Chain A
């Protein structure tokens, strides 16, 4: 058994969000972190490894510096890492990204008792599309919004976190799960793990590595293969200070109703 986990390096939005003059995000000017939901997926896989001794492979598509993030995940306990990186893959939207990641996962190999993990969504795009699209392209059953996992042989029982409650589903391996950050608290890297992480295997999959896969075609990858067109990126305008109204008398309530009316809220 093995767990394959897709991870993305994203800008650290807890700091300053830098936007270029043309409205696109200035990623080079921002610190990067591992996407929160993806980190929960890694931790879920590592817990299965703790219990079963299975192998954990982490995969990321991104520029060369994403290797640093993958090394950190190896220091947490992952066994192998794959960095999917090529000029041809640049500019991919969720459709093209899932094509490429699905091809990369095929190259790693999905066996009968394997689980593919993704985070629910990345904090930079917030689409939640890549995981489900990978599952479709790999013909794997998928469960999204996973907030609890129990593995028993080839049977996986998961609890989905929905807006109005939970849904429990049983699924057979091989399958794909997209995880929410509420699933767990990710472990720290350990000192021993850090000392070993540069000795662990990290493979680079470039265009040459994946080009023979039917999913990889110039029309389905990169900017050209991306149906999405980003019209504009911008920082949302800062909201003005709120207005506090005190008092439970009729006059105050009338005033509140009048304001809400003016704004067409009621």
Chain B
């Protein structure tokens, strides 16, 4: 097992760090305070190829690997959780399912514009009554007399929604009856464009953290799309959603990892400057032990995340790895950022320093793209515990 980064990955890390430090960090506080989607930053990232990192050049991607993508989300999240999740949702939840399940025509039509950042992507699975219970959805897609699909329903908590041009949407296409006579929903995946008739973006959510990320409701009222927008085969939508979320979890785990690392960096810097009782607080053993613990568990999270990324890259099964990476990294991020606020003391609770923002940003990583409880279910199921 080679734990060394390649020369290209080392160089990418350097570029991501420079970019994050110079372009993302100076805006992070403003993005949070104003709940502002960092449009200009996204354009800059797109120009550098960061909106299609691991897709082949023939589809407009940068031709790098999954680990290189993970490091981008990690480095951006070190300084701004919002910026990290914009790349993650766009890449893992929209580009990836189109790349992995799309027809050649769909890939040629959507991926070059998504990878170049001309279009932003999003993913619509969650509904008011279908969160963790993804099977509980109500959105329907019915074929009309012209062969077009007509979608009706709504989706909630959709990341990037306010700025996205392309959405991967899941809907019920049939009600099937199994051998025992039980009804079962047949779910299919579709590519929906923002300009499609009957499609609109609804309420913008006000959130605790990742405030600059645009989280909105999607509304489909007789939203009519051509037959060739079906993504993958009819009835295979649930599998596509679950497989997409496996990849998405690596992205969110990277975001969580970055938040923990960013909070530790800020706290090390602060504790070396802050003086109490005539000593720098970094000289107190409590500070040293706290930060040593935090660093050790964050490094453990890093290797879980990197290992899941490498397995995905190598086309090995990685469902359980992604679940473990997300479970651990998210819980580490929440714990570490909370403890960092504590080490900052009263200043940590103010918005003068970034750690309180990082603590708010970290909480969502335990919830979205599968709660920590869902990750435990996935891990247990993979261990055959039932």
Does A associate with B in a complex? yes
Which residue numbers of A lie inside 8 Å of B, CB to CB?
71-72, 75, 188-195, 197-198
Contact present for B11 and A71 (CB under 8 Å): yes
A194 and B57 within 8 A (CB):
no
Main secondary structure of the interface of B (DSSP, over half): helix
Q: Are B49 and A190 in contact (CB under 8 A)?
A: yes
Write out the residue numbers on chain A whose beta carbons fall within 8 Å of the beta carbon of B53: 191
Contact of B11 with A189 in the complex, beta carbons under 8 Å: yes
Distance in angstroms between the alpha carbons of A198 and B7 in the assembled complex = 9
Contacts of B11 in A (CB 8 A): 71-72, 75, 189, 194, 197
Q: How far is the CA of A123 from the CA of B19 in the complex (A)?
A: 23
Looking across the interface, which residue of chain A has its beta carbon closest to that of B52?
A191
By a CB distance below 8 angstroms, the chain A residues around B47 are 190
B19→A192 contact, CB < 8 A: no
What total count of A-B pairs have CB within 8 Å?
47
Q: Name 8 interchain pairs, CB-CB below 8 A, sorted by A.
A: A71-B7, A188-B15, A190-B48, A190-B49, A191-B68, A192-B57, A194-B11, A195-B64
Chain A residues whose CB sits within 8 angstroms of the CB of B48 once the complex forms: 188-191
Chain B: residues with Cβ within 8 Å of the partner, total of: 19
CA of A198 to CA of B63, assembled, Å: 14
Q: Hey, which bits of chain B sit against chain A, CB under 8 A?
A: 7-8, 11-12, 14-15, 18-19, 47-50, 53, 57, 62-64, 68, 72
A194 and B19 within 8 A (CB): no
Least Cβ distance of A214 to chain B in Å?
38
Which of A75, A192, A194: most chain B Cβ within 10 A? A194
A192–B62 contact, CB under 8 A?
Answer: yes
Chain A: CB-nearest residue to B68: A191
CA distance A84 to B7 in the complex (A): 22
A191-B19 in contact (CB<8A): no
Set of chain A residues within 8 Å of B15, measured between Cβ atoms = 75, 188-191, 194
**A191 to B12 alpha-carbon distance, docked (Å):** 7
Smallest beta-carbon distance A71→chain B, Å: 7
**A71 to B53 Cα, complex, angstroms:** 19
Cβ A191 vs Cβ B57 within 8 A:
no
* Contact A198 to B49, CB < 8 A, known contacts A188-B15, A188-B19, A191-B64: no
Question: With A and B bound together, what is the CA distance between A189 and B9 in angstroms?
Answer: 12
Q: What chain A residues lie within 8 Å of B72 (beta carbons)? A: 191
Bound-complex Cα distance A192 to B11 (A): 12
User: Given the complex of chains A and B, what is the CA–CA distance between A189 and B19 in angstroms?
Assistant: 10
Contact: A191 with B50, CB < 8 Å? yes
Report Cα–Cα, A30/B47, bound state, in Å: 32
Nearest-neighbour CB distance to chain B for A23, whole angstroms, equals 31
Which single member of B18, B57, B68 contacts A188 (CB below 8 Å)? B18
Closest to A193 in B: B49
Instruction: Answer whether A191 and B62 are a contact pair too, CB < 8 Å, given A72-B11, A75-B11, A197-B11.
Output: yes
